[in-house]
């Protein structure tokens, strides 16, 4: 639950601390005092969009901070740790601090457990920590999508097989949608696919006619360089050969002869020294190696004579053919071959359209049959859940001074979608014998408030969050209905923390703690003034005065105070 909320320079609130506790807390105050800033602060902590206009005039920034205590193992703690938060643990639970700062230029920063975090993390945490309800939520309640979501949330908890049924339906729906989209693409783009197939066929025919080999372009390039320098290569190889073996017995000694002479000299004394004998063997090996190299050079020079200008012309012609492919399809022959393999695969796909269309037709038809069965199963489970939810909410409405009212949940066939094949409509039958009408058309603001509260009370039993915040959801309600709303809020507060911003004394009387927002004007020397608000927890005497103000606008009136005390006494007796 939320232990404390600290607000600085938000709206008309300069700096205030809102102490909260378990049970039901109410926030009241004069119109314009800044009561809704409390809800705005919580909204910022839940990741709502930051509004620079909410920053107090003259301030550089506004901030909201909350301290929460949560039981060990709560999902919010795990997510906060993932975000790098520092969490203080104690016996049986942990303390988590959330903070949000909004600058006057609209920039916003979030902190989770003392560490900077993306705003989205606050949103994720908020989904498991707080449920906020206000007039905008009554508008949301009129939305068919929100009504379906509320029913499905109830069904998921009330019927354990519902989540599995929805998951299976959605998996088949996605498969059906993907197959149908591919089928539609094949049928509408057949002309474009035919042109692509013709282009790929021509390209592959050109590549196949040249029949390139891996790395052939690099090999031919090296051969062309060699053939272009035949004379230089011949002179170098014959000169090296001559230096090793002087076959024309010239005046200069050749390398083989010199090595042989060295070997013979050492062999004459080899018997006298083992070291020289070993050296003679090594020189003999050098002689053999030089003779081998000389033979290789002779063979190399002879091969050059067979690779004349004719071979060079062949190489250049072949390089020209490969160059055409490289310019058209890829930077190298190896990449041309890779492109050709991919093109063949694509061509097979394009030329198999008729077979693919037939296969997809069968797949779509089979998926439709399966979807119909799965959708019917989802509808059946929804109807069961709708009947149960309707009865429970109707019972709550009876307790909220709407004794003859009934929530009717209508499920009608709809076009198949990701959420099933149902249209879900919440209707309110306010009186016996009257026709049920959609909430958006037939329900007043006060009735919507009570329907929403009844729904929340029922849903809280199956999917609770630690804290509920209601922002003047009792608008348009008075008299006995207001008393009953206070009673139901108090009952809800027995299981979760509830914070209510209200203007009704009948509701405020049920509070476990009453928080007052007051405003005042601070004069300035220029003659103007600044409106500020303060937030404080009321004691018993102050609470009587505030209820008297809410009742009659006269907190000092003895009659109003007597009535306030009576309200408090009645609320204590009525709270179960």
Q: Give CA–CA dist 134/128, Å, rounded.
A: 18
Q: Round to whole Å and give the CA distance between 426 and 12.
A: 39
Question: 10 Å Cβ neighbour count for 153?
Answer: 16
Q: How far is CA 83 from CA 47, 77, 89, 238, 465, in A?
A: 15, 10, 17, 76, 21
Contact criterion met (CB below 8 Å) for 405 and 426: no
Predicted pLDDT at 106: 84
Q: What is the end-to-end Cα distance of the chain in Å, rounded?
A: 22
| Phi-psi map region of 216: left, alpha, beta (phi>0 left; psi -120 to 50 alpha) | alpha
DSSP for residue 7: E
Residue 139 to residues 313, 396, 410, 445, Cα–Cα distance (Å) = 84, 20, 19, 10
Contact 80, 113 (CB under 8 A): yes
Q: Using the structure block, give the residue that is written with the tokens 């949000």.
A: 100
**Residue 315 DSSP symbol:** H
Over its C-alpha atoms, the chain yields an Rg (Å, rounded) of 44
Distance CA(468)–CA(490), nearest Å, equals 12
Write down all domains in the chain, each with its CATH number in brackets. 1-134+472-538 (3.40.50.300), 195-351 (no CATH)
Of 442, 424, 432, the closest CA to residue 406 belongs to: 432
CA triple 188-194-199, angle to 5 deg: 140
Contacts of 56 (CB under 8 A, 6+ apart): 9, 10, 11, 12, 13, 14, 62
| SS3 letters across 382-407 | HHHHHHHHHHHHHHHHHHCCCCCCEE
Q: By CB neighbour count within 10 A (0-12 exposed, 13-18 middle, 19+ buried), where does 412 fall?
A: exposed
Q: Tens of pLDDT along the chain (576 residues)?
A: 899 899 998 888 888 888 888 899 999 888 766 777 888 888 899 888 888 888 888 889 999 999 999 888 888 888 898 888 888 888 878 999 999 999 988 889 999 998 999 999 998 888 888 877 766 666 666 788 888 988 998 999 888 899 999 999 999 999 999 999 988 888 777 777 778 888 999 999 999 999 999 988 888 888 777 777 777 877 888 788 778 887 654 566 788 888 888 888 888 888 888 888 888 899 888 889 988 888 888 888 777 766 667 777 887 888 888 889 999 999 999 999 999 999 998 888 777 677 778 889 999 999 999 999 999 999 999 999 999 999 999 998 887 878 888 999 999 999 999 999 999 999 989 888 888 988 767 677 677 777 888 887 887 766 667 888 887 667 667 777 788 888 888 888 888 889 998 889 999 999 999 998 887 755 454 445 556 677 888 999 999 999 999 888 888 889 999 999 999 998 888 776
Token look-up 């003392």 returns: 114
Nearest partner of 50 among 40, 58, 59, judged by Cα: 40
How high is the pLDDT of residue 522? 55
Residue 453 contacts residue 147 (beta carbons within 8 Å): no
pTM given for the model: 0.60
**What is the model's pLDDT at position 482?**
83
For residue 523, the model assigns a pLDDT of: 47
Residue with tokens 């069961």: 384
Q: How far is CA 138 from CA 36, 455, 485, in A?
A: 16, 11, 15
Cβ contacts of 83 within 8 Å, gap of 6 or more: 112, 113, 115, 117, 118, 121
Q: Which pLDDT score is estimated for 263?
A: 86
DSSP 8-state symbol, 307: S
Structure-token pair, residue 103: 């600058």
Return d(Cα 259, Cα 562) in angstroms, integer. 131
Alpha-carbon distance of 47 to 26, in angstroms, equals 23
Please report how many Cα atoms fall inside a 13 Å half-sphere around the Cα of residue 186, on the Cβ side.
Answer: 19
């Amino acid at each position: 639950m939320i232990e404390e909320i600290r607000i600085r320079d938000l709206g008309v609130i300069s700096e205030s601390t809102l102490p909260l506790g378990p049970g039901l807390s109410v926030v009241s105050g004069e119109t314009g005092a800044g009561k809704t800033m409390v809800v705005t602060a919580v909204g910022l902590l839940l990741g709502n969009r930051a509004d620079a206009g909410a920053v107090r005039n003259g301030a550089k920034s506004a901030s909201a901070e909350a301290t929460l205590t949560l039981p060990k193992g709560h999902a919010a703690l795990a997510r906060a740790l993932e975000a790098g938060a520092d969490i203080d643990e104690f016996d049986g639970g942990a303390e988590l601090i959330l903070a949000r700062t909004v600058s006057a230029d609209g920039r916003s920063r979030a902190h989770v457990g003392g560490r900077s975090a993306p705003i989205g993390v606050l949103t994720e945490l908020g989904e498991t920590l707080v449920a906020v309800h206000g007039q905008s939520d009554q508008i949301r309640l009129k939305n068919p999508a929100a009504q379906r979501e509320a029913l499905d949330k109830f069904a998921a908890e009330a019927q354990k097989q519902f989540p599995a049924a929805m998951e299976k339906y959605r998996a088949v729906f996605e498969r059906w949608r993907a197959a149908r989209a591919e089928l539609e693409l094949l049928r509408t783009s057949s002309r474009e696919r035919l042109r692509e197939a013709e282009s790929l066929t021509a390209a592959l025919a050109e590549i196949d006619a040249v029949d390139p080999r891996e790395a052939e372009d690099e090999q031919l390039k090296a051969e062309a360089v060699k053939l272009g320098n035949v004379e230089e290569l011949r002179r170098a190889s014959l000169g090296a050969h001559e230096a090793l073996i002087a076959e024309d017995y010239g005046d200069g000694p050749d390398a083989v002869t010199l090595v042989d002479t060295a070997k013979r000299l050492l062999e004459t004394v080899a018997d006298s020294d083992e070291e020289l004998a070993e050296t003679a063997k090594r020189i003999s090996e050098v002689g053999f190696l030089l003779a081998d190299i000389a033979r290789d050079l002779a063979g190399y020079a002879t091969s050059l004579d067979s690779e004349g200008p004719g071979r060079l012309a062949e190489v250049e012609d072949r390089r020209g053919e490969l160059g055409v492919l490289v310019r058209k399809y890829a930077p190298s022959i190896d990449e041309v071959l890779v492109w050709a393999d991919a093109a063949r695969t694509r061509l097979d796909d394009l030329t198999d359209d008729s077979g693919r269309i037939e296969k997809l037709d069968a797949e779509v038809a089979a998926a439709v049959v399966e979807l119909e069965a799965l959708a019917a199963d989802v509808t059946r489970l929804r109807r069961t859940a709708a009947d149960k939810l309707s009865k429970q909410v109707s019972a709550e409405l009876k307790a909220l001074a709407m004794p003859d009212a009934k929530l009717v949940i209508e499920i009608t066939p709809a076009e198949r979608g990701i959420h099933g094949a149902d249209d879900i409509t919440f209707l309110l039958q306010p009186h016996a014998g009257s026709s049920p009408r959609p909430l958006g058309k037939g329900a007043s603001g006060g009735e919507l408030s009570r329907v929403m509260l009844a729904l929340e009370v029922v849903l809280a039993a199956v999917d609770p969050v630690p804290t509920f915040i209601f922002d003047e959801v009792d608008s348009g309600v008075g008299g006995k209905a207001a008393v009953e709303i206070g009673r139901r809020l108090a009952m809800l507060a027995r299981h979760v923390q509830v914070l209510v911003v209200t203007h009704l004394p009948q509701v405020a009387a049920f509070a476990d703690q009453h928080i007052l927002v007051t405003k005042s004007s601070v004069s300035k020397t220029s003659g103007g003034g600044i409106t500020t608000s303060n937030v404080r927890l009321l004691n018993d005497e102050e609470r009587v005065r505030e209820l008297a103000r809410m009742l009659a606008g006269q907190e000092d009136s003895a009659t109003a105070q007597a009535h306030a005390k009576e309200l408090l006494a009645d609320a204590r007796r009525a709270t179960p």
